[in-house]
């Protein structure tokens, strides 16, 4: 969710820059940010679902099997 | 016009702050939706109506529905109904409702003065955006489609429930059952699998 907010802020910055200079490039960049956000959400939520199914917890600290 | 821009910005900041500080996922989602709508209104004020519509449809529509769907789905089972009722009790709705009501007021105000040109900023219509998007940025569009395709396949792969395999022995039993896997792997007793 916080990543969503950050990506949204980046998109807002692009739009503001595009509006400042009257260029459409800012909005194009916002489309790309939108695509990145959508794919990131899809993969992230699939990971969360998988974790919930496999470990029945959502605590990231529980995933400590892989000792580095 | 400028005041309404700043009001929308203040609503966006307030909603985002409340979202980050909210200890509960569902409450945070409610505030996040309001924040996204406020940002969409900001885009409209900045002369990007197409992006504003896209923000509402894709972000506040699709992505947030996905979030809410997963959050609600992960709570199946014990006392889930009670907890959801507790989450969505009426007092929770007050904060997002007030912020959303401010936004609705601004939209009504905007509709009232529709047709008047926005002072200060120039409108960039969707036609210009499309020309730039499919002109110099065509490679970027293709790369974005790669990314979405990869995300689709990845999400499908991660969300795929393997048939007839036990949950906690997933990795081990799969390695043992593959025909090319050689000697079956044995679970080590000293390493706990699953919730510790």
- Is the sign of the CA dihedral B132, B138, B144, B145 positive or negative? positive
Residue B66 lies in a domain: yes
Q: Are residues B106 and B159 in the same domain?
A: no
Q: Is the pLDDT of residue B15 over 70?
A: yes
Q: Are residues B94 and B162 in the same domain?
A: no
Residue B190 lies in a domain: no
pTM tops 0.95, yes or no: no
Contacts of A36 in chain B (CB under 8 A): 144, 147
For B94-163, the DSSP string reads HHHHHHHHHHHHHHHHHHHTTTSPPSSS----HHHHHHHHTTTTHHHHHHHHHHHHHHHHHHHHHHPPPT
Q: Are residues B174 and B148 in the same domain?
A: yes
Tell if the CB–CB gap between A41 and B66 is shorter than 8 Å. yes
Tell if the CB–CB gap between B29 and A65 is shorter than 8 Å. no
Specify the number of domains making up chain B: 2
Per the structure, the complete domain to which residue B152 belongs is given by: 137-179
Q: Is the pLDDT of residue B187 over 70?
A: no
Q: Is the pLDDT of residue A68 over 70?
A: no
User: Residue B149's pLDDT is what?
Assistant: 92
Q: Are residues B77 and B100 in the same domain?
A: yes
Q: Are residues B33 and B78 in the same domain?
A: yes
User: Residue B165's pLDDT is what?
Assistant: 52
Tell if the CB–CB gap between A39 and B147 is shorter than 8 Å. yes
Provide the pLDDT confidence category of residue B193 given band limits of 50, 70 and 90.
Answer: low
Provide the pLDDT confidence category of residue B97 given band limits of 50, 70 and 90.
Answer: confident
Minimal CA–CA distance to A27: which of B48, B12, B102? B48
Residue B184 lies in a domain: no
């Amino acid at each position: 969710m916080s990543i969503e907010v950050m990506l949204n802020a980046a998109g807002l910055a692009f739009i503001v820059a595009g509006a400042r200079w009257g260029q459409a490039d800012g909005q194009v960049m916002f489309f790309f940010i939108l695509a990145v956000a959508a794919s990131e959400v899809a993969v992230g939520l699939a990971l969360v679902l998988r974790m919930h199914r496999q470990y029945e917890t959502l605590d990231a600290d529980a995933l400590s099997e892989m000792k580095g | 016009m400028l005041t309404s821009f700043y009001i929308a910005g203040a609503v966006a900041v307030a909603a985002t702050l409340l979202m980050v500080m909210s200890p509960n996922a569902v409450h945070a989602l409610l505030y996040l939706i309001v924040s996204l709508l406020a940002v969409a209104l900001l885009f409209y004020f900045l002369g990007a109506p197409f992006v504003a519509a896209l923000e509402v449809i894709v972000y506040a529509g699709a992505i947030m529905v996905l979030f809410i769907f997963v959050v609600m789905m992960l709570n199946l089972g014990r006392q889930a109904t009670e907890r959801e009722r507790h989450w969505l009790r009426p007092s929770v709705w007050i904060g997002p409702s007030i912020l959303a009501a401010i936004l609705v007021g601004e939209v009504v105000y905007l509709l009232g003065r529709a047709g008047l040109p926005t002072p200060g900023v120039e409108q960039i219509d969707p036609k210009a955006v499309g020309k730039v998007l499919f002109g110099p940025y065509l490679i970027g569009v293709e790369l974005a489609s790669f990314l979405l395709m990869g995300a689709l396949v990845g999400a499908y792969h991660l969300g795929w429930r393997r048939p007839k395999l036990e949950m906690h022995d997933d990795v081990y039993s799969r390695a043992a059952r593959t025909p090319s896997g050689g000697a079956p792997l044995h679970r080590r007793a000293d390493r706990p699998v699953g919730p510790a």
